[in-house]
A and B are shown apart, each in its own frame.
Chain A
Amino acid sequence: MHEFWRNVEPIIYEGRIKVPYSWQAGETATYFLTRLRDEQKIVGKKCPKCRKVLVPPRKNCPFCFVHTDAWVELSGEGEVETFTIVRRGTRIQPRKTPFAYAVIRLDGADTRFVHVLGEVELGKIKEGMRVKPVFAQERKGSPLDIAYFKPVG
Chain B
Amino acid sequence: MERIAIVGVGQTKHEARKIQDSFADMVYEAVKMALEDAGMGVNQVDNVITTSNDFWDGRTISSMATGDVSGARGKNVSCVEGDGTFGAFYGMTRILSGSYGTTLVTAYSKGSESESPMITNAAFDPIYMRCLGLDLVTACALQARRYMKRYGITEEQMAMISVKNHLNALSNPNAHLGLKITVDDVMKSRKVSDPLKLLDCSPVSDGAACIILANEERARKITDKPVWVKGVSFCADAYLLGDRDLAECKALEKAARKAYGMAGIRDPRREIDVAEVYDAFTYQESMWTEGLGFCGPGEGGKLAVSGATAKGGDIPVNPSGGLLGAHPVIAGGLIRMVEAVRQIRGQAGAMQVKDNVKIALAHGVNGVCGQSHCVWLLGRNPN
Taking Cβ atoms with an 8 Å cutoff, the residues of A that contact B are 1, 5, 10, 12, 15, 17, 21, 23, 25-26, 29, 33, 55-56, 62-63, 81-88, 90-94, 101-103, 111-116, 127, 142-144
Asked if A23 meets B127 with Cβ closer than 8 Å, knowing A10-B19, A101-B134, the reply is yes
Nearest A residue (CB) for B192: A88
CA distance A91 to B20 in the complex (A): 28
CA distance A115 to B240 in the complex (A): 12
Residue numbers in A under 8 Å from B129 (CB-CB): 114, 143
CA distance A29 to B134 in the complex (A): 20
Q: How many residues of B contact A (CB 8 A)?
A: 39
**Cβ A84 vs Cβ B138 within 8 A:** yes
CA distance A101 to B137 in the complex (A): 12
Nearest A residue (CB) for B148: A82
Residue numbers in A under 8 Å from B118 (CB-CB): 90-92
Residue numbers in B under 8 Å from A63 (CB-CB): 238, 243
Can you show 28 pairs from A to B with CB atoms below 8 A apart? A23-B126, A55-B242, A62-B238, A82-B143, A82-B146, A83-B142, A84-B145, A84-B194, A85-B193, A87-B190, A87-B191, A87-B193, A90-B115, A91-B117, A92-B118, A93-B133, A101-B138, A101-B141, A103-B146, A103-B242, A111-B242, A111-B243, A112-B243, A114-B240, A143-B128, A143-B129, A143-B132, A144-B131
**Cβ A113 vs Cβ B242 within 8 A:** yes
Judged by a CB distance under 8 angstroms, whether B241 is at the interface is yes
Min Cβ gap B198→A in Å is 9
CA distance A59 to B149 in the complex (A): 33
**Cβ A82 vs Cβ B145 within 8 A:** yes
**Cβ A143 vs Cβ B131 within 8 A:** yes
**Cβ A114 vs Cβ B132 within 8 A:** yes
- Determine which residue in A10, A29, A55, A83 has the highest number of CB atoms from chain B within 10 A of its CB, and name it: A83
Residue numbers in B under 8 Å from A15 (CB-CB): 58
Interface residue from B19, B141, B192, B241 paired with A112 (Cβ < 8 Å) = B241
**Cβ A103 vs Cβ B142 within 8 A:** yes
Taking Cβ atoms with an 8 Å cutoff, the residues of B that contact A are 19-20, 58, 115, 117-118, 121, 126-129, 131-135, 137-138, 141-146, 149, 190-196, 238-243, 246
Min Cβ gap B124→A in Å is 9
CA distance A111 to B117 in the complex (A): 25
In the complex, the 10 A-B pairs of residues with the closest C-beta atoms, listed nearest first: A112-B242, A84-B141, A82-B146, A93-B133, A90-B117, A92-B133, A85-B194, A87-B191, A23-B126, A56-B128
**Cβ B127 vs Cβ A86 within 8 A:** no
Min Cβ gap A70→B in Å is 19
Known: A23-B126, A101-B141, A143-B131. 12 other contacts (CB 8 A): A29-B128, A82-B149, A83-B142, A84-B144, A87-B192, A88-B193, A92-B117, A92-B135, A94-B133, A101-B142, A111-B240, A142-B131
CA distance A77 to B127 in the complex (A): 22
CA distance A129 to B195 in the complex (A): 18
**Cβ B241 vs Cβ A103 within 8 A:** yes
Residue numbers in B under 8 Å from A127 (CB-CB): 149
CA distance A83 to B194 in the complex (A): 8
Asked if A101 meets B239 with Cβ closer than 8 Å, knowing A82-B142, A90-B117, the reply is no
**Cβ A90 vs Cβ B193 within 8 A:** no
Interface residue from A29, A90, A91, A103 paired with B127 (Cβ < 8 Å) = A29
CA distance A114 to B239 in the complex (A): 13
CA distance A63 to B250 in the complex (A): 13
CA distance A23 to B134 in the complex (A): 18
CA distance A82 to B135 in the complex (A): 17
Min Cβ gap B280→A in Å is 15
Residue numbers in B under 8 Å from A102 (CB-CB): 142
CA distance A54 to B115 in the complex (A): 33
Min Cβ gap B52→A in Å is 16
Asked if A86 meets B138 with Cβ closer than 8 Å, knowing A103-B146, A143-B131, the reply is yes
Interface residue from B19, B132, B133, B142 paired with A84 (Cβ < 8 Å) = B142
Residue numbers in B under 8 Å from A113 (CB-CB): 242
Min Cβ gap A79→B in Å is 13
CA distance A82 to B140 in the complex (A): 11
**Cβ B134 vs Cβ A114 within 8 A:** yes
Nearest B residue (CB) for A102: B142
CA distance A17 to B192 in the complex (A): 27
CA distance A26 to B7 in the complex (A): 49
Min Cβ gap B211→A in Å is 27
Min Cβ gap B103→A in Å is 32
- Determine which residue in B115, B146, B239 has the highest number of CB atoms from chain A within 10 A of its CB, and name it: B146
**Cβ B128 vs Cβ A94 within 8 A:** no
Residue numbers in A under 8 Å from B246 (CB-CB): 82, 103
**Cβ B135 vs Cβ A90 within 8 A:** yes
CA distance A55 to B129 in the complex (A): 12
- Determine which residue in B58, B129, B132, B135 has the highest number of CB atoms from chain A within 10 A of its CB, and name it: B132
